[in-house]
Chains A and B, each alone.
Chain A
Amino acid sequence: MIQVFTFYLFAALLIASGAFTIFARNPVHSVLWLILAFFNAAGLMVLVGAEFIAMLLVIVYVGAVAVLFLFVVMMLDIDFAELRAGFIKNVPLGLLLAVVFVCELIFGIGAYRAGKIELSDAPLNPGREDASNIQAVGELLYTKYIFLFEMAGIILLVAMVGAIVLTNRKRSGVKPQVVADQVARRPEDATRNVQPEIGKGVEL
């Protein structure tokens, strides 16, 4: 009972926030609706028993990606008139994408009507049915799918190095902070304790 209720709650909120992501006029509101959508998707994953994936979704997408997204969108200076002008320009592309999506939906429904795919019931790592999700995923990642896993890691590494190379530019005329010098500075180097005679003042 409560599972059904929760499922419909999350699913309805997910679809609603997905729709609002598109329909919201303000880009910041769009991003916030998107975050709500991520969150509800995580809730659905908890319901099907994939709590590890749900937590990763929240940590990676909600906690990091969406924050950076929001960070950028917040700083945009949005001109709504210009946005509307862009709308006319982008209509053909949008229509094309819409057609592709509709075709995919038709394919999907047609394939579903034709009968479901027969999935093998054999477990991927036999003998470990009682392992928790994290253990099972870990064991598979580091044994059966080790090459795919490593490949994903290398692709991410290359992307990271590429991003650093592209954005790292030499700037002239900057004075960077030398932290070692700052830490090594003692009070004696910077201050002087003097007892001036009254009315004489201090020589600087």
Chain B
Amino acid sequence: MTEFFQSLGMNYEAAWFVATICGILLIAFPLMLAVAIIIYCDRKIWAAMALRKGPNVVGPFGLLQSFADGIKVFLQETIIPSGANKGLFIIAPIITFTVALLAWAVIPFSETAVLSDINVGLLYILAISSLGVYGVVISGWASNSKYPFFSSMRAAAQMISYEVSIGFTLISVVLMAGTFNLSDIIMAQKGHIGGVVNAYGLNPMLFPMAVVFLISAMAETARHPFDLTEAESELVAGYQTEYSSMSFALFWLGEYANILLMCALNAILFWGGWLPPIDWEPLYAVPGIVWLFLKIFVFFFIFSWVMATVPRYRYDQLMRLGWKIFLPLALIWVVIVSGYVMIRDHGWPL
């Protein structure tokens, strides 16, 4: 895109600047639109599983429901509790929302469509997703209210626990692909299974990690069945209890943008990203972004499906799953995968 702006007569620096800003807007606005649509899909899927109709009043099939909700929260009054720490109370949702958008900078949408194709793409995503906890922790503390505070305690412990197992699962993928760059990881999956299937997830070496990653992703985004941070039967609405109008909506948007990000990561790391599922020439006629969106939607459907069917975990079960099952499993798998990679690259050592 920089070349295009250069051809309009700008010098390189100005062209780069304008191109980057355009790239950011090209990701952020469609992402917000996608969040609005995915919230609608989410509600329709739960409704279908509970034999209800779901949103069906605003627009054809209720399609405009999310936009109606958006206008509603936008017009509401922002209430700041008198005991709250005002500055932090307002900053917290902004942090959640910004961090949810930041990570999309390195996601490759097709072979060339990636805002910043950096060498440490995966580390960048880990770093940014580890910032997500601050929005929750700060909002809980700044609300100066007990349920939000309990919720932020839970969130801090939960997100740190699952970040560890996510980190180790990512390491096994990185070992297999030999790079931290997301585009290269996708290219390494091309024809990975017998030269036919474009996916790491079907490799028996990585399939368990794909499952661990999917479950950890649900825990990391505090999504059902791990939504203990906003368990309404125990904590009213968790860290969002004191929030209203746009500040609440920012949490909401950030949460769904994070869920979409985790779905995209699942698709990119284990299921071939923008590659078609099968390495067959005619399938490449379909643009890569369509394949990526299809895969993201499949994973989002799984997230919704789990939410509609699985009851919430107890807190001690959540911690046990993270520390006593996923962490040792992922750690052992790192060793197994590195042994496999050693044999693959350098031959049988004996």
Q: Which of B44-52, B120-128, B281-289 contacts A (4 or more CB under 8 A)?
A: B120-128
CB-contact partner of B130 in A52, A63, A133, A177, under 8 A: A63
Contacts A67-B156, A132-B119, A179-B320 given; does A59 touch B137 at CB 8 Å: no
- B153 at the A/B interface (Cβ < 8 Å)? yes
**Residue B252 is within 8 A (CB to CB) of chain A in the complex:** no
Interface string of B129-159 (1 = CB under 8 A from A): 0110110011001000000010011001101
Q: Any chain B CB within 8 A of the CB of A161?
A: no
Which segment, of A68-76, A109-117, A146-154, A165-173, faces chain B?
A68-76
Residues of A within 8 A of B112 (CB): none
Query: CB-CB < 8 A to B316: which residues of A?
Result: 177
Q: Establish whether residues B317 and A179, one from each chain, have CB atoms under 8 Å apart when the complex forms.
A: yes
* Interface: A83 (CB within 8 A): no
Q: Is A28 an interface residue (CB 8 A)?
A: yes
For chain A, what secondary structure do more than half of its interface residues adopt (helix, strand, loop), or is it mixed? helix
- Counting CB contacts under 8 A, is A55 at the interface? yes
Q: How would residues 30 to 60 of chain A score, 1 for a CB under 8 Å from any chain B CB and 0 otherwise?
A: 0010010000000000000001100110110
Q: Which residues of A contact B131 (CB under 8 A)?
A: 58, 62-63
CB neighbours of A85 from chain B (8 A): none
Contact flag A63-B120 (CB < 8 Å), given A1-B13, A32-B138, A134-B180: no
- A28, B149: Cα distance in complex, Å: 14
Category for how many chain A residues contact B: 20 to 34
Cross-chain contact A2 with B17 (CB below 8 angstroms): yes
Is the Cβ of A62 less than 8 Å from the Cβ of B127?
yes
In the complex, whether A64 has a CB less than 8 A from a CB of chain B is yes
Closest chain-B Cβ to A38's Cβ sits at a distance in Å of 11
In the complex, the answer to whether A63 meets B320 with C-beta atoms within 8 Å is: no
A55/B137 contact (C-beta < 8 A), A63-B130, A64-B130, A179-B320 known: no
Q: How many angstroms between the C-alpha atoms of A9 and B118 in the bound complex? A: 22
A63 to B220, CA, bound (A): 13
Residues of B with C-beta under 8 A to A55:
120, 123-124, 126-127
Minimal beta-carbon separation of A138 from chain B (angstroms): 11
Q: Which residues of B contact A56 (CB under 8 A)?
A: 123
Contacts of B317 on A, CB cut-off 8 Å?
179
Interface residues of chain B, those whose CB is within 8 Å of chain A, are 13, 16-17, 88, 118-120, 123-124, 126-128, 130-131, 133-134, 137-138, 141, 149, 152-153, 156-157, 159-160, 163, 180, 316-317, 320
Q: List 9 A-B pairs, Cβ < 8 Å.
A: A2-B16, A51-B119, A55-B124, A58-B128, A62-B130, A70-B134, A70-B156, A71-B137, A75-B153
Considering the complex of A and B, which 5 residue pairs feature the smallest CB-CB distances, nearest first? A63-B130, A58-B127, A55-B123, A59-B127, A132-B119
